[in-house]
Amino acid sequence: MSTDLFETPAADAAPAAFADRIMAATLGGIDLVAIHLGRTLGWYQALVDDGPLTSVDLAARTGTQERYAREWLEQQAVGGWLLVDDHDDATRRRYQVAPGAVAVLTDPDSALHVAPVAGFVIAACRRIDDLVAASRSGGGVSWSQFGDDARTAQAALNRPLFLDELPDQIVPAIPELHTALQGGARVADIGTGEGWSSIGLAAAFPTSTFEGFDVDEPSVAAASRHAADRGLDGRVSFAAVDAAALSESRTGAFDVVMAYECVHDMPDPVGVLAAMRAIAHDDGYVLVMDERTAESFAAPADPVERLLYGYSIVCCLPDGLSTPGGVGTGTVMRPAVLAGYAASAGFSRVEILPVEHEMFRFYRLHL
């Protein structure tokens, strides 16, 4: 993430600098709305598959209205997302996606495919009245309330990481975990979402078996479909289960227990971590991946920290507080906070693993 694009004004900046920030944010917000429209209506994909296209062609191929398609095409062209030929007749101009934007907007396997974040922002904006109400009176907004756009966006954003980077770069950098997976481990994937973490590792380590657990039933159903589509449903399974309840039936059942980018969302992280400890074999490996926050609060902060706080106020904190008694960790879970949760759950210590990643930090929780 280029920090130059997101620099905060100096402490003595003039009012105009802050006004400029609002106008830039407005332009960015409108771009996200347009990107969400383009993805949802199939406009980008049609342009990639069949372009260059006129507005008439695009509307016909996607079952949409030409006048709306034309305005969107022009908005995208003036913003540089699309290239357009020069023609006096607006309905005969032909558009195509800028080559550098193709992977960003349409390739789900690319590490640069960040366009799904638009759906996440749209999902949060839909719940703004609920967020206002929760901020005033307490309670929260649950993950299920954010709906399919948030669910699919979250899965899509992490998919390239889980399918490629996790098995090919991250796990090999953790020798003991790598050896366990090569040797045919029984793996529990806590908070698995749409299952891409288990699917990516199962494809890379064919002697290991994976069980994914999540409380969100639509995510579990999607995970099962993804595994079946890739021919992995024999070694990968998913269940809609509260991970905190696993300790009652699966004590010591797993060689590896993993939780990717979900502990900060949990209303009872200590209870879930205690269950992870219980279901791990005596010499098992417990891994947590969560956001690479700063070690301590400081303001102003870098773009990653700002992004994490943004996610927190619109989704992760209200989701965590939507369950009565939820601790409300929020997205910005610093290492010391996780270490405190782990100690309360009975782990002996937390080790920060030497894995370099811009967005995530990797922890081993020692039994």
- 172-214 pLDDT, tens per residue? 999 999 999 999 999 999 999 999 999 999 999 999 999 999 9
Query: What's this model's pTM, rounded to 2 decimal places?
Result: 0.93
Per-residue tokens: 157: 């954003």
In the chain, the amino acid numbered 280 is A
Whether omega before 300 lies within 30 degrees of 0, making that bond cis, reads yes
**3-state DSSP assignment of residue 350:** strand
Quick one: which H or E segment has residue 120? helix 117-126
Go through the chain and tell me how many residues it has: 367
DSSP letter assigned to residue 160: H
Fold of 13-106: Arc Repressor Mutant, subunit A (1.10.10)
Token match 């948030």: residue?
A: 150
**Where do you find CATH 3.40.50.150 in the chain?**
158-299+324-366
In the chain, the amino acid numbered 223 is A
Give the number of other CB atoms < 10 A from CB of residue 18: 10
Asked if residues 256 and 185 have their Cβ atoms less than 8 Å apart, the reply is yes
CATH class for domain 158-299+324-366?
alpha beta
Residue 275's closest CA among 327, 341, 352? Answer: 341
268-298 confidence digits (pLDDT tens): 999 999 999 999 999 999 999 999 999 999 9
